[in-house]
Structure 1
Amino acid sequence: MIDMQKGCFTLKTPRYDTKGVVQQIHKLAQVFRKQNNPVIYTQHDRTGIGVFEKNTPD
């Protein structure tokens, strides 16, 4: 589960079945947790450009 930051899911950058994909990711994380496997989160530091730039709205 990589690159799920909000900047990838804007009205300008629509994705196929966003709601379904996010639901599947949540289900997969639950399976990992139930099996005592790690679920690792990362956070973009907003040093990029555009929607990934610091102090830009979600």
Structure 2
Amino acid sequence: MTRPLPGHRGAVLAIWFLLLALLASVVALVVVVPRDGLGHRPPPPTRAAADERVPR
């Protein structure tokens, strides 16, 4: 990698910080988003399914 010009160290650090923030946001999305995609939650259990789970 080429050496930055004198006095441009802050800009280089800012660019690296932005790249790291972007990478962290991508990793957070991959971890948080469920595998079946964005906003696709399984439907709530129906009344019949809930009644089957209740022991009698």
TM-score tier after normalising by the smaller chain length: 0.3 to 0.5
Relative to the length of structure 1, the TM-score reads 0.39
The one of the two structures with greater contact order (alpha-carbon pairs below 8 A, sep at least 6) is 1
In the superposition, the TM-score normalised over structure 2's length comes to: 0.40
Larger radius of gyration: 2
Q: Structure 1 or 2: larger helix share? A: 2
